[in-house]
Homo-oligomer: A and B are copies of this chain.
C-alpha cells in the first residue's frame, strides 16, 4: 500500500502528532495545491496566510502556528527539516536493479561490491573498486584505480579520472568531472610548459556534487572535499583546494588553486575565491562576491554594487573612477573648515 500513516511520519520526523495517526499520507506537495493524501508545511509565522483554505491532508508546522490550525498536523520546532525527512520517507529514490548492464564496458580487474549497478555505455577501467550498492549511471567513465564507496549514486555521464576516491553515500549529478588535470604551467619565454598533475581527488562521505561541476586533481598533493559537503551545479574547484566538512556552495562558484575553505561555510552563487588563501570555519559569502584575501574571522562577507536602472547606474558607474579624487577633495574641504575654526 502506497504511502505511510501520519503516525509513522511523525515518528520518522521526530515531530509531535496532532490528529488521527492512521491518516494515510502518499506524498508531499506545495501548500497551494496540496490535496487529499498529501502533506505540506509552513516554516514560520510570517507565512501563516498560506494555511487559509489549505486542503492538504496534514501540515508540518512550528509550535507557534499549531494553535491557529485545526487540521491534522506534525508539530516541530524544525518544520523544514521535518519536511525533508517526510519527503525522503514518502518519495524514496528510484534505483535501478543491481547488476551490470550488458551494454556496459567493464574492464578486467575491476572489483564490484554486492548490489552494484553499472548502466549502459558506462566504462569502468581496470583496478577500479565500487562499493556495495553503488549505482553508476549510463555513460559514466570510471578511470583506472578509482575507488568508490558504498551506496554512492552517480548520474548519467559522470567522469572520474584515474586514482580518485569517493567515500560512502556520495551523490554525483550528471556531467560532473572529477580528477581532470589542474591548470598548472610554468613560463618558458612566451610559451607555457605543462606541470604534470600527479595528485588525486579525495572526497569524503555524504557529499553531493551538482551537474557539470568540475573538481581538478591536485598538482602534487590531493584536492580534498570533506564529509557532508554539498556542491551545487557548474562549480569549479581547482587543484589542491580543500573544503571543510558540511560546507555548502551554491552554483557557478569558482575556487582557485590551493584555497582552503573551512567547515560549515556557505558560499553564495557565482562567488569567486582566489587561490592560496584561507577561509576559516563558519564564514558566509554572499552571491557574486570576490574573495581576494584570507578571511580569518567567522561571519558574513560581501562585495559588489547595487542593481539600478541602467541610465542611473551609468551616472554612478563613471563616478567610481573619481572616487579617490573625491575622497581627497573632501578631505581638503574639511581641512579648510578646520582651519576656519581656529
Residues on A facing B (Cβ under 8 Å):
27-30, 78, 80-81, 83-85, 87-88, 91-94, 101, 103, 105, 119-121, 123, 125, 137-139, 141, 143, 155-157, 159, 161-162, 171, 173-175, 177, 180-181, 183-188, 190-196, 198, 206, 208, 210-212, 214, 216, 220-221, 228, 230, 232-234, 236, 238, 245-246, 248, 250-252, 254, 256, 263-264, 269-270, 272, 274, 284, 286-293, 295, 299-324, 326-327, 329-330, 333-334, 336-337
Contacts and interface: CB of A to CB of B under 8 A. Distances in A.
Contacts of A139: 121, 123, 139, 141, 157, 159
A308 B302 contact: yes
Contacts of A254: 234, 251-252, 269-270
Given A105-B120, A194-B208, A301-B310, 16 more contacts: A123-B138, A139-B157, A157-B159, A177-B211, A180-B210, A183-B251, A192-B228, A233-B236, A284-B310, A287-B290, A302-B307, A304-B304, A304-B305, A305-B305, A320-B320, A329-B334
A155 B125 CA distance: 14
A191 B247 CA distance: 9
A143 B216 CA distance: 27
Residue from the set A119, A143, A193 with the largest chain B CB neighbour count within 10 Å: A193
A291 B196 CA distance: 32
A89 B171 CA distance: 37
Nearest to A248: B192
A61 to B, nearest CB: 15
Contacts of A236: 232-234, 251-252, 269
| Stoichiometry, copies per complex | 3
A159 B302 CA distance: 35
A309 B299 contact: yes
A324 B319 contact: yes
Contacts of A292: 287, 306-307
A300 B269 CA distance: 22
* Pairs of residues from A and B, 10 with the lowest C-beta to C-beta distance, nearest first: A180-B211, A141-B156, A300-B310, A84-B186, A315-B324, A252-B254, A105-B120, A156-B159, A316-B323, A173-B180
Contact of A206 (B173, B191, B221, B314): B191
A302 to B, nearest CB: 4
